[in-house]
Amino acid sequence: MEHPYGYIKNDKVYLRGFLGQEDRIIGEVKEDEDSTLKYFEDRFVLLQEKVAKLKRDIQENQNKGSFLMKLIHLRESLYQSDALGDFEPLIEELKEQEEALNEIIQQNRKKNLEVKRELILEAQEKKDDTDWKETTEFYKDLKLRWIKTGPVDKEYQEEIENTFNEIVQHFFENRRHFFEGLALQADENIKVYEALVLQAREAHDFPDAKTAFDISKKIQKQWKEAGKVPAEKRQPLWDEFSKLNNRIFSRYKRTLQTGPQMNPRELMRKVETLTEEIKNLSGKPTSYELIGRAKEIQEEWRKLPPRKPKEANLIVRSFQFFSDIVFEKAFLEKLVHGKYPDFDEKPKAEQIQIKSALLKDLLRRDQTELEAAQQNTENFRVQSADFDIMMKKKLFAVKRKVDVKNYILKQLSFN
């Protein structure tokens, strides 16, 4: 059976060749020949509607170039479509549309090239700008405009992309180097502030109020001359530094005040009494009342004249040692109760085991600190008597921390 654009032979439906193609089978007879031909004619009508819709979409859309690949795929598919109809006009129509789109795309790419070259000039003008905040926002906006600008011809694509990216990267590399430099300098400045805080601690613990005051004046001047660091890092150091120096000044001021002085014998008796009392407290279980009394004893000690008889040196060290034991034990109690809410319900042996384990862990840290302090004392050889005294003072303080923990461990082992 014949058809204007095909035929039926041996129950097979053929489409006549067009545009250099040979006749090909597109289906077979299902019920009868007329209904079969009608089915393939209707399929061709659907293809016509698909082409018409694509044309309308192109006409109604501003970004016409975005339809190019869809058009090409549709045109190529017509050569393989299983339908009966005149394919040549449809294919020709799509070819004309393709040429029109290519022309539009070409024009758009020329405009895009002009726009991107202008953006490159804008980028070039600001690449060495050091107003980091404002210029960073400028480049963010510029990169967004670059992305929104469509593609250019392939022959220019790589060149302009590289040029633009190199300029933008130049600015951001400069910015990165600047802030890395600031960060490195800030790190160095932080070390200066930390060292000054350390000296303030040592001066605060120095027995002679006048020497401590002189050191305080020196390090306060050095603090003012130290470089910039982020406020959030500097503030905690400043809080401690200023508090220590205020205490140093207050102590020095008290030594200048005139008034009745304690005679040596009375002072010795008071030193011995306070030391004996704090020693007794150090051997008792920690309690709120005990800590309160220990603080009162320390306050009484601070009110004593800073200069004490030479024969009181060992007693002064004992006072410091047993005071540390009292407060170290209080810290240990706080630590175990924080870590084990049910600590008080545990058997006595388990409580001792837990305390000993935590204390040994703290002791290892102190021993590491002691080794570092010993090494620093050996390595630092400066022409400053004050600094040398402070280093030795630091070494003694760390050693006392180790001795205190070892003493408490022995107390625990006898329980």
Residues across the chain? 415
Q: Give the amino acid at 93.
A: E
Identify the pLDDT of residue 210.
Answer: 85
| Long-range pairs, 149-154, Cβ under 8 A, ≥24 | 149/112, 149/115, 149/116, 149/119, 150/65, 150/108, 150/109, 150/112, 151/109, 151/112, 152/109, 152/112, 152/113, 152/116, 153/106, 153/109, 153/110, 153/113
Listed as ranges, residues in the chain with pLDDT below 50 are: 258-260, 382-383
- Contact status, residue 398 vs residue 375, Cβ threshold 8 Å: no
3-state class of 178 per DSSP? Answer: helix
Q: Tell me phi and psi for residue 7, to 5 degrees.
A: -170, 170
C-alpha to C-alpha distance for 97 and 102, rounded to whole angstroms: 9
* pLDDT tens readout for residues 223-277: 888 777 778 888 888 898 899 999 988 888 877 654 446 788 888 899 999 999 9
- Write the single-letter amino acid at 354: I
Question: What residue has token string 């009162």?
Answer: 296
Q: Can you tell me the distance from the alpha carbon of 322 to that of 325, in angstroms, rounded to the nearest whole number?
A: 5
**pLDDT for 261:** 62
Distance between CA atoms of residues 206 and 393, nearest Å: 8
Angle at 347 between CA 342 and CA 350, to 5 degrees: 90
Calpha distance 391→37 (Å, rounded): 106
User: In the beta sheet, which residues pair with residue 25?
Assistant: 14
| Contact in structure between 213 and 248 (CB atoms under 8 Å) | yes
| DSSP conformational letter for 305 | -
Dist CA 414 CA 356 (whole Å): 12
